[in-house]
Structure 1
Amino acid sequence: MGWRGILGFEYGIVQAPLGPDISGPELVAAVANAGAIGILRAPDWECPDYLRELIRKTRSLTDKPFGVGIVLAFPHKENLKIILEEKVAILQLYWGEVTQDIVLEAHEAGVKVVPQIGSFEEAKRAADVGVDAIIVQGHEAGGHVIGHEAIIALVPRVVDLVASRGIPVIAAGGIVDERGYVAALALGAQGVCLGTRFLATEESFAHPIYKRKLVEMNETEYTDVFGRARWPGAPQRVLKTPFFMEWRNLPSHENEANQPVIGHTTIHGMEKEIRQFAGTVPNKTARGDIESMVMYAGEGVGLIHEILPAAQVVNRLVEGAQILIQQNFTS
C-alpha cells in the first residue's frame, strides 16, 4: 500500500513546494518529522547563499530527509548547485524540461529527482531520462497548472507507462483527505502530493486571511487573470474570491505591469511590491489589500474545514486510509 512509504520515506505523502515561500522550514520540518516528504520552495531568482541558509535552517528543525523544489521557468542554475552540494533527499522540478544532465548530476550527488508533470508526453520524457519518481498533476490542482487532464484519467496511463521501470507515481490535484488518498492508490499511484491541505496548516507561511478563506470558501476557477506579465502562459486555479469574481473577465491585453500597488511583502528576505493582478499569494508578511491578492487553491478546498498542525494532516491521512481500506476494501 502507498501509505507504507516511497523513496525511502515512512509514508507516501508529499507536501507540495508551495510558492513563493509558503512552504518554509517550519512547515517542511513538521511534515518531515511526521514521516512524510516535505519540500521547500526555492526562490524564483538566483540566491544561492540564501538558499543554503534556508536548507540549513530546515535541518536545524528536523533530522529527517526533505526536498527542495525548483521552477525551471525561472533562473535556477546557481540554486541547483546549492541543492546538490547540500545533498537534500529530493530535487523536485516543475514547468520546464528535465534533462538527462540534471538527473545524472543529481544522482552523482545522491539526490533523487522527482519532476511534476501534467501530460502523458511529459511523463514519457521524464521517465526516459531516468527520474526516480513522477508527480502527476491533474487539472484539479491549485496554483499554476500545466496540464488539462484530470488525475482519474492521467494517473493510470502514467502508471502503465512506467510500471516496468519501477518508477513510483505520485498523484496530485484536489486530494485533501483519506478518501482522495485511497482513490489515488486505486488508480495505481504509490503516493499523493498535497498542496492546498498543507497550505491550510498552522506551520504554513500563508497569511491568516488566506488561510481563513481556504476554510470558508468552497469553489475555485481555472484562469489566467493573475501574473500575466511575470509568468506568461502559466494559468492557475484560484479561489473564487469577490475580487476575482469582479475581474474574472479581465481583457487579455491587461496585466499587472501597469496596475496600482495594493500591498507589500517580504519574500525570501527581499522586499516586494504587490500590484493588482500580480501572481503573488499573500504570505504572513504581506500587508495592504490582502483580499484583493491572488489566492491559489485546488478543487478539494471545500473539504477543508479547519486549520490543523501539519503532523495531524499526515496522521489523519495515514490512519484514515488504513481504516478505509480495512473496512471497505478488505474481504
Structure 2
Amino acid sequence: MLPITTPPIVGAPMRMVTGPHLTAAVAAAGAISFLGAGYDLETLSAQVKETLELLPQDHGASDNSGGSQSSAEEKILPFGFGFLVWKLNLLEVLVEVTKHRPCAVWLFAANNPTEMVAWVKEFKSKVGWCRVFVQISTAREAVDLVEAGADVIVAQGADAGGHGAVSAAGTLSVVREIVEAVGHRVPVVGAGGIVDGKGIAAVLAAGADAVALGTRLLATDESIAPRAWKELVASTSEGGINTVRTRIYDELRGTGDWPKIFNGRAIINDTYLDQQRGVDEETNRQRFAEAAVKGDFSRVTAFAGTGVGQIKQITRVEDLIERLQKDAKAALREAALRFSSV
C-alpha cells in the first residue's frame, strides 16, 4: 500500500457509491481506498482502468519486486477491491484478483461464518501479496477469521449505514470487544456512524487502529450516488431517530436475496412508513418502482448511518479527509489536556 496519512482513514467499498472517481480521490488524499466492486465482476476491469487514469501519476501501480523494474504481473494496484461474498463465486473472484493485483480486498457478507473462513484461507494461500480485510460484528467471528489468516478486521457496529448484521451492538461496543479479542494480533478498523473528527477520535480512543468512512464519503462530489441522495443525507437531522434498520427496502428493490442475517440502515421515508401503516406489499412495491424511475428519494432507498445528522454539506474528498484528520487530532489533544490532571 502507499504511505497513509494519519489518523488512518479507510474508504468503505460501497456498491453503487464507491466508483472510480471516489476510489481515486480517497487514495490520492492519503487514505486507504477500496473500489466498491460488490458482486459485479463484469465491469471490474473497466473500473480499474478508469481509476488508474484518474489517479495522480505518483499514485500508480507499485513495484512489489523490490527493484526499479518489474513485469506487469508484479505491479500492485494502490487501492483494494470490496466484495460481497454471498453472491459471488470464490474461484471467479480469485481469477479477477490475480489478474488485477489489488493491494487488498475487503470481504463482507458471507452466507455464514464458515463460508467467510473458507474465503480467507483461500485468499491467503492463493494471493499472498493481497491484504485481506474482513468486515464483521462479533468478537467470536474476529477470532476465527484471524486464525484463518485475516490481516485486518473491520469492526462494524449497528450505527452503520447500508448493510450490516441484524444482531450487532453499537459501534463503540463492537470495537472494544473486537480490539480486546484480536487487537494484539491484527489491526482493527472501527466502522459505523463515523462522520466527523470527534467521531474518529472516539473510535481511536476505544482502541481501533483506523476508522472506516461510508456515509460521509457518500456525500462527496466524487461519489457516484445520485445528487438527490447526497442532498438528502446532507439535510437529514438526528440520525438515531430518522434512520432505521430494516429489510423492506431490499424486498421492494429486488435485492431481497441478501442472507437473512443482514439488514440495512436507511433514512426513513414513505416506503418504510407505508409498511408500518399496513399498506400491502404489492402496493408499496408499485409505489417504490414508480419513485425509482423518477429518482424520487421520498420512497427510494437512501442508505445512511446514524451519524447522518452531523453531515451538513456535500464536499470534495481531498478537503474532507484533511479536515477530518485535523479535527480528530485536535479532539484527542483537547481530551488529553482536559483530563491530564485527573
TM-score, reference length from structure 1: 0.83
Partner of 1:272: none
Tell me, in whole angstroms, the C-alpha distance in 2 between the residues paired with 1:139 and 1:204.
Answer: 23
Tell whether 2:185 aligns with 1:162: no
Partner of 1:13: 9
Q: Which residues in structure 2 correspond to 1:268-283 (within 5 Å)?
A: 275=289
Flag structure 1 segments of 5+ consecutive residues without an equivalent.
1-5, 263-274
The 3-state SS of whatever aligns with 1:206 is coil
TM-aligned CA deviation for residue 205 of structure 1: 0.5
Partner of 2:150: 131
Q: How many residues align?
A: 300
Tell whether 2:304 aligns with 1:297: yes
Tell me, in whole angstroms, the C-alpha distance in 2 between the residues paired with 1:158 and 1:35.
Answer: 26
Tell whether 2:179 aligns with 1:184: no
Tell me, in whole angstroms, the C-alpha distance in 2 between the residues paired with 1:71 and 1:255.
Answer: 28
Tell whether 2:104 aligns with 1:83: no
Against the structure 1 CA distance between its residues 223 and 29, is the aligned structure 2 distance closer, same or farther, given a 3 Å change threshold? same
The 3-state SS of whatever aligns with 2:250 is coil
Against the structure 1 CA distance between its residues 299 and 101, is the aligned structure 2 distance closer, same or farther, given a 3 Å change threshold? same
- Matched letter for residue 192 of structure 2: G
Deviations 1:192-246 (A, max 9, x none): 0011000000101011111111011122111121213332523111101234323
Partner of 1:53: 46
* Larger Cα-atom Rg: 2
Partner of 1:202: 221
Cα contact 2:171–2:193 (8 A) shared by 1: no
- Matched letter for residue 323 of structure 1: A
TM-aligned CA deviation for residue 106 of structure 1: 5.4
Tell whether 2:268 aligns with 1:240: yes
Q: Say which of 227, 230, 243 aligns to 1:220.
A: 243
Cα contact 2:3–2:30 (8 A) shared by 1: no
How many percent of aligned residue pairs carry the same amino acid?
31
Flag structure 2 segments of 5+ consecutive residues without an equivalent.
61-77, 111-115
- Matched letter for residue 87 of structure 2: F
Task: Give the structure with the higher percent helix.
Answer: 2
Cα contact 1:226–1:255 (8 A) shared by 2: no
RMSD: 2.5
Deviations 1:27-59 (A, max 9, x none): 010010000012111142442xx2122112111
The 3-state SS of whatever aligns with 1:93 is strand
TM-aligned CA deviation for residue 325 of structure 1: 1.9
Deviations 1:107-161 (A, max 9, x none): 42x1100010011221112111111111000001001111421122121111111
The 3-state SS of whatever aligns with 1:126 is helix
- Matched letter for residue 175 of structure 1: I
